[in-house]
Amino acid sequence: MATTLRLGSDSASLDRAAELLRAGQLVAMPTETVYGLAGDAGSDAAVEAIYAAKGRPSHNPLIAHVGSMQMAESLADFPPEALALAAAFWPGPLTLVLPRRAGAAVAQRVTAGLPTLALRMPAHPVARALINSFGGPLAAPSANPSGRISPTEPGHVLAGLDGRIGAVVDGGACSVGLESTILAVAPDGRVRLLRPGSIGAEEILSATGLILSENDQAGIEAPGQMLSHYAPRGAVRLDVTTPAPDETLLGFGPVETPYNLSPAGELAEAAARLFALLHQMDQDGVERIAVSPIPETGIGRAINDRLRRAAAPRD
Ligand code: TXA
Ligand code: MG
């Protein structure tokens, strides 16, 4: 097994990380949502290596991470609605799925053959510094083996991918803790929600005046929307107020358990801690997880989305 370098986030470390990326290697980098497994989006070989390291199905496209609007607009077409969304929420935890530009400098495999390209400009200073030092778009899915829990700390990345990637850049724990909100913007300006995240419909409406359309497309358009995903090793049961004797409670609010998402019942705190607690329960060998009810409001919707996928029957 090759050695995965542990890098800090000082400028010498980021130079080293950018050098590895230029050599076609993979580097796990912190973002405000989750750690991403970054590779040169312009290189077929690097993108291929991302799919291989994660064991990711090749029909599941990747997000290209950009450092500027200029970089973004060289890769995809921005209808006015997309420009408004980018102005309101970038840099930040929002991904836009847009018509890919002819001749865009990203490998075909990034989009898995789709005519659209997913773009995100992350806010995390380390991710921004790394993209800028690299000087081009970085393809980066969450840095976990496909189907498993997303990583919000460097230790989570190493637990899944140690020896399979070039390096991990330590930027501490991710502040949001759930993957970005994904919106598809059609050439006619229609905006559809493909994956709920910390930026919700109300915030989008108040910041841009845009109303989200129903997601009426058939099939799995964002395969992160595949039903079984984010799976811990233990079985998961949702909306539990009284756990069975053989269950361990993943709590929310004032309940007695060693695993509490937010004793104060705060949704943002629960989102930031969700994946870390699921990783911890995995590590502790918890076999039956019962989850407290989580309110279906604001970021609670994104938390419940991830929990439903964690609880879904597995193949
Ligand atoms: O917060 C995030 O978005 C993190 C950080 C690292 O940026 N990234 C992330 O990537 O969650 P990933 O690969 O785990 O999830 C990306 C999702 C997948 O469900 C994929 O199917 C969808 O985005 N996606 C990518 N390109 C797409 C496209 N052209 N059309 C529809 N869905 C797309
Ligand atoms: Mg993922």
> Does residue 151 line the site of ligand 1, with CB under 6 A?
no
Task: Give residue for tokens 């789709």.
Answer: 114
The string of pLDDT tens digits covering residues 135-187 is: 999 999 999 999 999 999 999 999 999 999 999 999 999 999 999 999 999 99
Q: What is the mean pLDDT of the chain?
A: 95
Q: Is the CB of 23 under 6 A from ligand 1?
A: no
Q: Which two tokens stand for residue 249?
A: 């409670």
What's the 224 CA to ligand 1 centre distance in angstroms?
7
pTM of the model: 0.96
- Assign 230 a pLDDT band (cuts: 50, 70, 90): confident
Count of C-beta atoms within a 10 Å radius of residue 69: 14
Name the residue with the closest Cα to ligand 1, atom 6: 36
pLDDT in tens, 87-136: 999 999 999 999 999 999 999 999 999 999 999 999 999 999 999 999 99
Residue 313 banded pLDDT, cuts 50, 70, 90: confident
Asked if the model's pLDDT at residue 300 lies above 60, the reply is yes
Least confident segment among 115-119, 218-222, 225-229, 241-245:
218-222
Please, which residues have CB within 8 angstroms of residue 239's CB and are 6 or more apart in sequence?
Answer: 291, 292, 293
Q: Is 4 in the pocket of ligand 1 (CB under 6 A)?
A: no
Q: Does residue 221's CB lie within 6 angstroms of at least one atom of ligand 1? A: yes
Q: Are 4 and 165 in contact (CB under 8 A)?
A: yes
Q: Which ligand is nearest the CA of 112, by number?
A: 1
Three-class SS of residue 126? Answer: helix
Reading phi first (left if > 0) and then psi (alpha if -120 to 50, else beta), residue 56 is in: beta
Q: Which of 293, 295, 287 is nearest to 238 (CA)?
A: 293
* Residue whose C-alpha is closest to residue 174's, from 206, 200, 198: 198
pLDDT of 242 > 70? The answer is: yes
Burial of 112 (0-12, 13-18, 19+ CB in 10 A): middle
What is the 256 CA–ligand 2 centroid distance (Å)? 31
In this structure, are residues 169 and 11 in contact, taking their beta carbons and an 8 Å threshold?
no
Which atom of ligand 1 approaches the CA of 95 most closely?
3
Residue 292 has pLDDT above 90, yes or no: yes
The total number of residues written for the chain in this structure: 315
Which stretch of DSSP H or E encloses residue 178?
none
What's residue 227's pLDDT?
67
Q: Write the CB contacts of 43 (distance below 8 Å, at least 6 apart in sequence).
A: 24, 107
